[in-house]
Amino acid sequence: MRIFISADMEGICGVVNLQHVDPGTKDYERFRKMMTREVNAFVEAAFEFGATEVVVNDSHANMDNILIEELHPKATLISGSPKPLSMMQGIDETFDAVFFVGYHARTGTVDAIMDHTFAGRVFCVKVNGKPLSEAGLNARVAGFFSVPVVLVSGDDKTIACAKEEINEFVPVVVKEAVGRYAAKVYPFEVVKERIKNGVKQALMNLKNLKPTVEKEPVHLEITFINSSLAELPCLIPGVERKDAKTIVYTASNYLEAYKVFRACLAINAGLK
């Protein structure tokens, strides 16, 4: 049984502010160790309950946060950026299940820890008219390859968002959001037990958890925080301006839509 883990950082237990997740800030080194520790707990549980291979894709910021020297020795790590499929780099039809670890809620979610959607310059992403978080967007990549997302971890608001956006999964709440930069957190031993129980439930119930497959054709809509960010993406063939801040694109399938979304973000790199 092959497991794919996409690991973000804002939803890791104990993480509550930008000092914890931004490389170069005073607390980042401490919290990347905590991220590695939490990922290890998921890897360990996955092998305990039947996994034969686990691939971890580092999915936060520059995507080189997880410490390879401290990673579980049976796991394979995909590290660094840019990656064509970003947070889902490495996924294909040979995997049996996906875990989203350390995820966060979509932009605009009330009282969620550091809510955003991929980049701080994006206000809203809709697929076929439905606003999606990173969990929703990435789950559809897995669904394109017929692989189910069976587990999502993060704060309670993250879980609520994911339940609106993807098919049934096992939730693992590692902290309870109080505000954008505050949360009720738990000792790691409590979190580790929740992780073990969540992984066990997900893998024991795997046959009943279905991929999230988006209906085709796929209509993509991206609203940026200001009008200048909607300009350059219109250089991409097929991308059109809906209004000052919003661009749209119609793709033949979801993977195409996701790649165009990634290109729209990349073409704006460095702009504000």
List the beta strands (DSSP E) in 53-200.
53-58, 75-78, 97-103, 122-127, 130-131, 149-155, 170-179, 182-185
Q: Is 116 a catalytic residue?
A: yes
Is 60 a known ligand-binding residue? Answer: yes
Of the candidates 20, 72, 116, 219, the residue annotated as catalytic is 116
Burial class (CB in 10 A: 0-12, 13-18, 19+), 141: buried
User: Binding residue per annotation — 53?
Assistant: no
Q: Is 104 annotated as a binding residue?
A: yes
* Cα Rg of the chain (Å, integer): 18
> Is residue 10 part of an annotated ligand binding site?
yes
Give Cα separations from 112 to 107, 141, 146 (angstroms): 9, 24, 30
List active site positions: 116
Annotated binding site for Zn(2+): 8, 10, 60, 104, 134
Annotated binding site: 8, 10, 60, 104, 134
